[in-house]
A and B are shown apart, each in its own frame.
Chain A
Amino acid sequence: DQQVKQNSPSLSVQEGRISILNCDYTNSMFDYFLWYKKYPAEGPTFLISISSIKDKNEDGRFTVFLNKSAKHLSLHIVPSQPGDSAVYFCAASEDDMRFGAGTRLTVKP
């Protein structure tokens, strides 16, 4: 059972515009939600996280929004830069950590 879902396999945006990546989850017991970025042939690297008791967390160009009632979170990147091109994974965490299938973001110059 896939408890974390990213339904968009890919997203393409223009440099300087906003990128919005979406994620849904099914298990209401998750305490934290995290976003990771992954380049080919490397392990994922952490971007930003949010506690289940908050609805927004911001770190520079990256903002994560959490809608608990809808079991939905999103990552906003503003402004998008070509170096942001990568695969983005959302994850949901208790003592384990479950990942979605990922969204490949391409930022075009």
Chain B
Amino acid sequence: NAGVTQTPKFQVLKTGQSMTLQCAQDMNHNSMYWYRQDPGMGLRLIYYSASEGTTDKGEVPNGYNVSRLNKREFSLRLESAAPSQTSVYFCASRKGGGPGAWGTEAFFGQGTRLTVV
């Protein structure tokens, strides 16, 4: 019962370095999401993929890119990390698949704590 798996769990980067956060789900979900959580800001949507083959910007996409590699995997890339990207990153998935499914629950990974120095 893996659900949503994120790797790595912790990462320290130097300013300007690049890295990719990995996310995989084993629930055959159509929709996947990347959020960042900052104190007092809640969860802010970075990018999402409503279905395999599509990706869309969320609230805070600048400085990030995503790839929906296949139905299971949705990666988040920081090309040139900045201290403002220090945050906890959460990946989520849900069944999705159309307007009638937007009320279904999303399942979240355990998070990746990223520090950019």
A residues with a Cβ closer than 8 A to B are 1, 6, 9, 31-32, 34, 41-46, 49-51, 89, 93-102
Contact = CB atoms under 8 A, between A and B. Distances in A.
Nearest to B108: A43
A32 B96 CA distance: 12
A96 B102 CA distance: 8
Contacts of B48: 95-97
Chain B interface size band reads: 20 to 34
A109 B58 CA distance: 40
Nearest to B58: A96
Contacts of B50: 95-96
Contacts of B110: 41-43
Nearest to A30: B102
In order of increasing CB-CB distance, the 9 nearest A-B pairs are A43-B108, A32-B103, A46-B105, A101-B42, A99-B43, A95-B50, A93-B102, A49-B103, A31-B102
A32 B104 CA distance: 9
